[in-house]
Amino acid sequence: MKRSLLAILIVLSATGVAAREYADSAVYQGINLKIDLATPVLEIARSKATVMSYEAALNVRLVNRFYPTLEWGYGQGDCTAAGGNFHGMGGFGRIGLDLAALKKSRKDNMLLVGIRLGTAVQGYELTDVRVWDTYWQKYTTRGYDHMVRADVWGEVVAGVQVKVYKSFHMGWYVRLKLLFTRKENGTVNAWYIPGFGYRQDTNFGINYYLGWKF
């Protein structure tokens, strides 16, 4: 009888180990949904809400190492300056891939590195834009309404993810952004690009996420 019980325990233990190994080696291992908290807080502190954006992310866990990622959001910006006033708003999206950088990373605590391709489409307007009139030899003011612009950029990202409780986790990303659509368009360029930030060749960003695993 004792031998039978011992054999049953050994079989159950081996079955449990095999099940865990299969779970670790399975291709699809779940979905993570993340909500960013850092971006709106930092933008309020930096710009007093003249620039605001909100974003979320969804990634799929594959073979415990690879994370195809989709990020999306909405942003708007307002700027009042001596050379003109800007108001714009629109949506943005990013697609990319994260890699668990350490081979021995735990399932829920890991270091991530990755790349993104981002794009944004926004409608905007410029008012009271100062333009030099070559005929009258003086500055005049103009307005540009119902402008639409699409921009594209690339990103290199790095971050961490830490399990807090059961399916709940948190983490952060730092981002280096490189704008691809740099061509100037006279006086009607957008001052702000949703998802990218202020219009310049490169930008940095940081996200602090709360996430749920499904």
Is residue 52 domain-resident? Answer: yes
Is residue 64 domain-resident? Answer: yes
What is the DSSP-derived secondary structure letter of residue 38? H
Contact 118, 152 (CB under 8 A): yes
**Confidence class of residue 4 from pLDDT cuts 50, 70 and 90?**
very low
Residue 25: predicted pLDDT: 57
- Determine the structural domain holding residue 75 and report its residue range: 27-213
Is residue 8 domain-resident? Answer: no
pLDDT digits (tens, 9 = 90+) for 67-78: 999 999 999 999
Instruction: Name the more confident of 17 and 55.
Output: 55
**Confidence class of residue 179 from pLDDT cuts 50, 70 and 90?**
very high
Query: In this structure, what CATH number is given to the domain that contains residue 118?
Result: 2.40.160.20
- For 64, phi then psi, to 5°, come to 60, 20
Could you give the number of structural domains in the chain? 1
Distance CA 128, CA 117 (A): 34
Is residue 13 domain-resident? Answer: no
pLDDT at 23 over 70: no
